Amino acid sequence: MAQTGLAGKRSYHQYCGLASALDVLGERWTLLIIRELLMGPRRYGELLADLPGIGTNLLADRLKFLVDSGVLRQVDVHGTGGRLSYELTPTGQALRPMVLGLAHWGLEFVGDLKAEDTVRPHWGFLAVEAMFQWDKISPIDESYQFQVDDEVFRIDVAGGVPRVAKGPSENAAMVATTDAATFVRIGAGRVTPLMAMVGGQLKLEGDIDAVLRCCELLGLDAGAAPAAQAVSGH
Amino acid sequence: MAQTGLAGKRSYHQYCGLASALDVLGERWTLLIIRELLMGPRRYGELLADLPGIGTNLLADRLKFLVDSGVLRQVDVHGTGGRLSYELTPTGQALRPMVLGLAHWGLEFVGDLKAEDTVRPHWGFLAVEAMFQWDKISPIDESYQFQVDDEVFRIDVAGGVPRVAKGPSENAAMVATTDAATFVRIGAGRVTPLMAMVGGQLKLEGDIDAVLRCCELLGLDAGAAPAAQAVSGH
DNA sequence: CCGCATCCGAATAGATACTG
DNA sequence: CAGTATCTATTCGGATGCGG
């Protein structure tokens, strides 16, 4: 169901893959909808709650267009009382590396948390997947668990391959507990894990070597950091 | 100069890497400007010519904002008579994999060439870089040359690493000659190289084995197959 | 309530004329 | 050539309405 083009829609009218991609994805809110669905199917109301400011008509329009374009489909997720959810088709799933790449790239531009900013735990967790240092993955099989506000995620490293997932780990080698804003700030390099711990926004439990391996996996400077001097005063 | 935010600009106000990225890149035309600059510095007038429909005010606004954001900079390219060009900063260059990925993804959505569509040779060539099959690169060092309308590009394979570049190759193992629309159509899988040759839109010269290696590098079905996907109307 | 459709003021985009 | 300035068209954002 590709090349829909839904008559009347604005288009760049360029015979080019990028222009065609942007004819589908380039409008406001569209890629943020994709972001929400990268972690699994969601219902209309859930999307509305995690996209503050979108306006109900725009969300409905975008969902309809993306379904027509073959990027999303509607599914009946077991246990949601027969109400339909939206999920990515294989074509939509193929956007994962580009969306994650953009999420990682954009961390350079996140500033201080302002009063009007919203935060969600799973936004930070998306960036985690984009931060993997594929050349520095330890051969040890283990899991790291992250309690971010009221949501729980984990990284499972198995056979040299890390994977992110929702929910707790049965036997985590490390458990991190923090709030969503701190989680994003650490990913953006605006604060180091050590700085966040000293400030009381991050709690780390478990094997100290597992903590260090987790930091290395994510390319994070575990503790040292630009603030080394500031902290040494203690 | 990150986290500029240029006061008054519309923002998603989400504390999230993707939302921040889209606050910088998400407006209309912006990623197409990045696309143009991925192949080297360009001047205002050149950008205007390759972005039909943009309007002079929008191009000026976008360029100014991207320079302020640290994605672009102005440079004096030798030989352009002291007039300034725009080029990507390292931050902007970091977008290459995501932009190429989107260009490749979007090939699924390019339809038939319509009367109002514009085409440029270098648009097709951008996708070429995104089509490399990194697991199927031959160990043979050689170059493939592409004459697309009035522009010439090449792929240099050296030490198992392919690289794209502008301009002719001194000793090409294969030379392909075609028009821009056919070039895009082949990349999109709407036509095979063999079909284009039979139709007279593509001419291939040089070593037949080099031609096959080039097709394999790009994941193209050299000739066989009526291409099952080619005629999926609706 | 949830899942939209409609309406309207505000913000963006497009087209064109103009300037250093 | 490289942009401004200005005006019109389109899209967005927020409020409201409505059927199930």
- Is the C-beta atom of B53 closer than 7 angstroms to strand C? yes
- pLDDT at site A83: 81
Q: How far apart are CA B39 and CA B24, in angstroms?
A: 21
H or E stretch covering B197:
helix B193-198
pLDDT in tens, B92-136: 999 999 999 999 999 999 999 998 899 999 999 888 988 999 999
CB contact under 8 A, A3 and B111: yes
Q: Is the pLDDT of residue A84 over 90?
A: no
Mean pLDDT over residues A51-73, rounded?
Answer: 92
Q: What is the mean pLDDT of chain A?
A: 89
Mean pLDDT over residues A58-81, rounded?
Answer: 89
Q: Please, which positions of strand D sit below 7 A from a protein CB?
A: 1-6, 10-17
% pLDDT > 70, chain B: 91
Contact at 8 Å (CB) between A73 and A109?
A: no
CA of B87 to C1' of D3 (A): 18
- Is the C-beta atom of B9 closer than 7 angstroms to strand C? yes
Q: Taking Cα atoms as reference points, which of A91, A68, A76 lies closest to residue A43?
A: A76
Do the bridges between strand B174-178 and strand B142-148 make them parallel or antiparallel, or are there none, so unpaired? parallel
- pLDDT at site A227: 45
Mean pLDDT over residues A25-44, rounded?
Answer: 94
- Nearest by CB to A21, from B102, B120, B180: name it: B102
> What band does A9 get if pLDDT is binned at 50, 70 and 90?
confident
Q: Is the pLDDT of residue B227 over 60?
A: no
Q: How far apart are CA B200 and CA A39, in angstroms?
A: 47
- pLDDT at site A228: 42
CB contact under 8 A, A106 and B187: no
CA of B84 to C1' of D1 (A): 11
- pLDDT at site A224: 57
Mean pLDDT over residues A103-124, rounded?
Answer: 93
pLDDT in tens, A163-183: 999 999 999 999 999 999 999
CA of A25 to C1' of C13 (A): 17
Q: Which of A35-49, A200-214, B218-232 has the lowest mean pLDDT?
A: B218-232
Backbone angles phi, psi at B21, to 5 degrees: -60, -40
Mean pLDDT over residues A195-214, rounded?
Answer: 95
> What band does A216 get if pLDDT is binned at 50, 70 and 90?
very high
pLDDT in tens, A106-116: 999 999 999 88
Contact residues, chain B, for A53 at CB < 8 Å: 12-13
Nearest nucleotide to the CA of A27, by C1', is D11
Q: Which of the 155-194 residues on chain A come under 7 Å of nucleic strand D at their beta carbon?
A: none
Q: Which of the 30-69 residues on chain B come under 7 Å of nucleic strand D at their beta carbon?
A: 43-46, 55-57, 60, 63-64
Contact residues, chain B, for A188 at CB < 8 Å: 17
